[in-house]
Amino acid sequence: MRGEEYVPYVVTLLFAAALILLVICRQRMLRREDRPAVMIGNGQTIGRRPEQDDYFSSVSTDCGTLAVLADGISGLAHGRMASTVAVSAFIREFIQLENGSDLPSYFTRAARISNREILHRLRGGRGGTTLVAAVVQHSKLYWGAVGDSTISVFRNGQFIPMNSKHILEYELEARYLAGEITREAIASHPMRKRLVNYLGFDGFKNLDISPEPFTLRKGDKVLLLSDGVYNALTELELEEILTKRISPNEAAEEIIQAVEDKGYSDQDNATVVILEQMR
């Protein structure tokens, strides 16, 4: 058979190879599109408290993925009610959100509604809750926070804090910087950990809102923590878990197990929610 007689066979083989390659590429693209942009994990323990006052939830809509964590104030009555009302209001308002560019006003509106509903149910009683809420939208992190629960981003072995705690210690720190008090006065102040702003508080001001969205990278983990977690575990202990090649849910469960393994006699309720940026 002469060389030119091979040409039709070669063309057919090349066409078949190109077709197979296209099919493989399309399957890979479909798998990539099917993979969620954000994976969520969570974990919780009641600790040594008689009641679980932490409450959390998450939801995904066209406006992004929302995770909310509220820590009802155990030192006051109705902590569980307050945290449940707050998280429910944030979820409800997010589901009703039609425009993803309206996130700053969403945080403010949801906080105002939460505070009003909690105060209405308290009817003059005492109660309240901290709250942190994070929305991931197109690799951008938007957040709102009030109280002493925390939001941070874990990236390449480092924690990047997002919010500040609303506790008296931070106000005392400002007075120290102004030269009004000493470091020793801050350390010895018996009320330095007292909350100065929370939902369900008559004097509630507003929650802190991200001044601008934080750009996430693939593999970044957004952590929402109640104080029962960060008071029990060091950043190094959290880092050892978060650097493992495991799912967000497995990481959250390991964090809670590490909290319980401490065996503290006064262990507070502890809750963690993790959102991992997948692409």
**Residue 2 and residue 6: Cα distance in Å, rounded?**
7
**What integer pLDDT is reported at residue 235 of this predicted model?**
97
β 150-155/140-146 pair status: unpaired
- DSSP state string for 55-103: EEEEEEETTEEEEEEEEE-TTSTTHHHHHHHHHHHHHHHHHT---GGGH
Q: Whole-angstrom Cα distance, residue 151 to residue 172?
A: 22
Q: What is the predicted pLDDT for the residue at 173?
A: 77
What pLDDT, on a 0 to 100 scale, did the predictor assign at position 177?
83
Report the alpha-carbon distance of residue 20 to residue 22 in Å, rounded. Answer: 5
What are the residue ranges spanned by the domains of the chain?
A: 1-34, 37-277
* pLDDT (0 to 100) of residue 2: 57
Residue 158 CB burial class (10 angstroms; 0-12, 13-18, ≥19) = exposed
Which among 43, 7, 20 has a CA at the least distance from the CA of 223? Answer: 43
pLDDT digits over 258-274, tens only?
999 999 999 999 999 99
What pTM was estimated for this model as a whole? Answer: 0.84
How far is Cα 188 from Cα 181, in angstroms, rounded to an integer? 12
pLDDT of residue 3: 53
- pLDDT of the residue at 16: 57
Q: What is the pLDDT along the chain (279 residues), one digit of tens a residue?
A: 555 665 555 556 656 555 565 545 455 544 444 558 999 999 999 999 999 999 999 999 999 999 999 999 977 779 999 999 999 999 999 999 988 888 989 999 999 999 999 999 999 888 999 999 999 999 999 999 999 999 999 999 999 999 999 988 767 777 878 888 888 888 888 777 789 999 999 889 889 999 999 999 999 999 999 999 999 999 999 999 999 999 999 999 999 999 999 999 999 999 999 999 998
pLDDT recorded at residue 25? 44
For position 20, what pLDDT does the model report? 60
pLDDT digits (tens, 9 = 90+) for 187-219: 888 777 789 999 999 889 889 999 999 999 999
Place of tokens 């575990």: 233
Cα angle value 229/107/77 (rounded, 5°)? 50
Identify whether the C-beta of residue 134 lies closer than 8 Å to the C-beta of residue 152: no
CATH code assigned to 37-277: 3.60.40.10
